[in-house]
Structure 1
Amino acid sequence: MTTCASATCPGRGGRRCSRGDADRATRLLAAALLLWDGDRAAVGVPRVGPLLGALGHLDEERMRAVEDLAEAQLRVGEPRAALRDLTGLLSAAPLRGRGWALRMRAHHRLGEAGGVLEAYRSECAVYQAELGITPGRELGEAYAELMGRRPPRSA
């Protein structure tokens, strides 16, 4: 049986995942995400007052579910599916460090060293453009783990 190490998966899919059934977690998380209409909760509803925080929280939970799904997909040997889901997530929310790390891992599982490097450089560029900073140490460590060498200098 394939196991899933993540103990923080939200919702029902997450509980299944923490029990070690990545196949079931993949199915449940994919089904849960199909219930969403678009990338944001309550599209068209004004985000004001108490709704601002509540809807923002739901959006965050959805993004975590996409990352959890990608992690489960990697654990069951579906790196292309993980890349597909992560591409959409990172287009909408480019500052998700976990998403970038999972994207690098998916490329690595496919034997695409160039994809790992591209994901690393893309995250560095996004963080620099959006925040004026470089990503944290975790990104470099993930790159080094996957590629077996120190990360290249950011441009």
Structure 2
Amino acid sequence: MLVDLGDDLQLCTPFRLRQLTEDSLQSVDLSVEEAAFYRNVYDYLLGFKVWSEPQCCQIALNATAAKFHLLPVQAKSWFFKSYTGGQPLVDAVITLHSKCQPGEFLIVDHNHQSCLCINLTQGFMLDENIELEQFQAIKVLNDRVHPLIQAHKLTKTA
């Protein structure tokens, strides 16, 4: 999916054509709902004071594409460790722990059982052989979602 942002700027999402909904191949403009979601995500990310404005734009556009244009996917929770802590989840930026490493993810959609997330970590390894591209989406069960607890990050509650 390619988003044209003007004369010299284009953003290519990591999603393959076979992953996209039928209407996303025909629609060229953001809907009001998509634009509002993009703006909310962009503003939310800026509040962390971790990412630059262009990075927030890129993350928000990929999140919007994932939420509104990806075909439904099954949860792939087996790649991640369960969260057994007691701290309540209040952020949309979360940590998922694979067998190899922890990584930062952004929740773009959720229900009472699972959430759809995009990967914010470059070079994130799901296991010894499988890498999840930055900004690629993955669905996980809610019991895999860890709160973002990192001293070097300035966090903001949702």
* Structure (1 or 2) with the greater helix fraction: 1
Decide which structure has the larger Cα Rg and report it. Answer: 1
TM-score by length of 2: 0.28
TM-score by length of 1: 0.28
* Structure (1 or 2) with the greater strand fraction: 2
